[in-house]
Amino acid sequence: MSMVLERELQAGRASGPIPKHVDLLLELGELRAEKLNRVPDAVQAYESVLERDPKNPVAADRLEKLYEQLGRDRELARLLENRAEATTDGPARALQFSRVATIRANRHDIDGALAAYTAAFSADPTNRDVFTAMERVCYKAERWIAAMQLYDTAIAFVESGTSRAYRLGDLYSRRGNVLLNFLGQVDSAIEAYQKVVEVDSQPAAAVTLLDELCRQRGNWQPLILAYERRAETQRDPARKADALRQAAKLATDRAGDARESIRLNRKLLIVEPNDVMAGALLERHYEETQDRSGLIDVLKARLQHTPQGGSESVKILQKIARASEDGAKDVDSAVENYLKILELQPENRDALEALGRIYESTEQWAEFIDVTRRQIKVTTDRNVKALLYFRCGSVMEAKFAREQDAIRYYDAAIRTSSSCLPAVHGLRDLYRRREEWQRVIETLEVEIKLWQDDKERAGVFAQIGRIYDKQLGDGERAMHFYDSALRVDPDCLPANQALFEHYFDAGEWDKAQPIASALAQKAMRDGDPSTRSDFFRKRGVVARMTGDPKGAADNFIDALTLRPTNTAALDDLNTLARLQSDACDFDVAYKELDKLYKKRDDASPLLARVHVGRAALLERDGDLDQAAVLYREALDLAPGELAIVSAVVDFHSDMRRWQEAVDALERFVKSDLASAEDRLLAQMRKAGIHADCEMDPPRAIAVTASRQCRMSA
């Protein structure tokens, strides 16, 4: 039969149709293979079929089996490759190329195997068997570039979203392994492991490797960046938060980058507002850097995710309010948050105290009174409550001028705590302004009971004595309290000062003199210059009146040294110079004063008095012409000063120049510079000259009855 078929083929080879030949060859091949066991001849027949019909599936299938049977791998590979090229179905095409690759690999044709595997994987990237087989060949043959191409193709395929046949993290991990361990490309390996951390659900191994690489380089930024990118790609909030938490921890503990840590913790707090450690770290950072705005932003973010009405929300509100008040100076925000606290906890003392402080500093007095009254209701400490009453009273008095309300609050403070000195002082000062002296004394008597310090108690006794002395005119009671003050504290400055003033006003010079001596040392260093200057003037008067002209001169000069504009001291010095010119070197003193006053623009009346004093010295020495010149200059400098006019009148009177004395007084009375009281005194002096010096009573009577005198009176 075989021979028949062969002759038939030979007969029809020249003119027969190809399909007829194909059928004959197929039949002949089958006969040779199955019946005659002539496998090589069968192969020849099937090859002839494929020459005539390359896509004939029957011939290809049978030939494939025969090639395998005969071990003809090269021809089998070529056949499979041709069949694969002709196949359009991806998975089927991949299987064909995979078989080709396997055959070539077994024959140690690595390049051919890799080419076939590449074609197979390109045909069906989802075929893990192909991927694994090609990877195995690459590793065995150390074809790392081919392995990298395999990984890149698989990664691109997965990242395109077409299929999830592979774990993306696993692919990047394999890629990183090749780059690090076989190609030595550390930077690229780091990038690959970063991607593993970014996309893989279980990136622990990659983290370990990346951690070691960062440690070796001393640069933790790659791992930090990997965690940050992981947070961006993860959908699960818990994983996002964990990634940011790890990144922030690395920035703090390993990198030591505070700024980076703060940035990451801020991102973490957005994802996980209740993260206690992140919140605490950010709060501490903003407090240390005094960035109140940043602190407030963090606290507000936490507040949005905190259950309202709970103790935690109150704590956050307190922090926001405190930061707004202290650092940001945003008083409105602080008030708003403190009020929110009071809505949740109406008796919150910290909020009430803070609002009181803010309202006081911003002078919102009505609100201050309201919140302070609320403080009073929740305060149990009697001393604190008394101070709150006092604060209300002081505001009522100073800001609203409601003295009765102020008195009521002060009384409430004292009833609450009898030792509340500010309230006692408030009442005392209020009654003092109202000149209700008996009530002032009552408050001072309360104050005496409160003081334990003898100096303070003595000072209060002295105040009471001074009120009796100056305001109530009760000298006996005044002396009683002065004595009480000195019994408690013999060195009591206020009591000694008051007693000195009392004796000075009463003209009891002998009693005033030892007290003045005792006070002199303290007066040199205590008090303002004006007060000290006045004391030394009075001490000088006491010295003059007790027969110590030199001491008087020294004190008057001390008074002028402390306050050169002390007119009374200068007048007293002039009086002393006129009465006892040898008490000191007045000429030197007047020269110094002359230099001093000529440097001042407002010292004309004072310079005039210096001229008067120097004129008196010249008058004493007999130089009347020069004295007259100085008196005229003094009048020119201070025409409205009665003391100057009086000195000029005394000069003319001593020389019995009555008319010139009268003329000087008339010019003074007619000027507009003198006060009405001084003009009246000048008129009376003029009348005295007419009556006593000129012996002209009618003229004296005419002066006292004149219209000018009546107007001045």
Distance (Å, rounded) from C-alpha 242 to C-alpha 230?
10
The domains of the chain are located at 639-713
Q: Three-state SS across 454-514?
A: HHHHHHHHHHHHHHHHHHCCCHHHHHHHHHHHHHHCCCCHHHHHHHHHHHHHHCCHHHHHH
The pLDDT of residue 196: 93
Q: Cβ-count burial of 307 within 10 angstroms (0-12 exposed, 13-18 middle, 19+ buried)?
A: exposed
Residue holding tokens 């006092």? 390
The pLDDT of residue 17: 53
Q: Which residues contact 261 (CB under 8 A, 6 or more apart)?
A: 248, 251, 252, 281
Q: Which two tokens stand for residue 164?
A: 């999830």
Distance (Å, rounded) from C-alpha 36 to C-alpha 34?
6
Q: What is the largest CA-CA distance in the chain?
A: 196
The pLDDT of residue 21: 62
DSSP string for 626-676: HHHHHHHHHHHH-TT-HHHHHHHHHHHHHTT-HHHHHHHHHHHHHSSSS-H
Report the predicted TM-score, pTM, of the whole model to 2 decimal places.
0.52
The pLDDT of residue 690: 85
Q: Which residues of 273-302 are buried (b: 16+ CB within 10 A; e: fewer)?
A: bebeebbebbbebbbeeebbebbbbbbebb
The pLDDT of residue 404: 92
pLDDT along the chain (713 residues), means of 10: 63 54 67 68 68 68 69 70 75 84 83 88 90 93 93 91 86 94 93 92 92 92 92 89 90 87 85 80 76 73 68 77 71 84 85 88 91 92 92 92 92 90 90 91 89 88 89 88 87 82 90 86 73 90 93 91 90 88 87 88 86 86 87 85 87 87 85 82 87 85 68 51
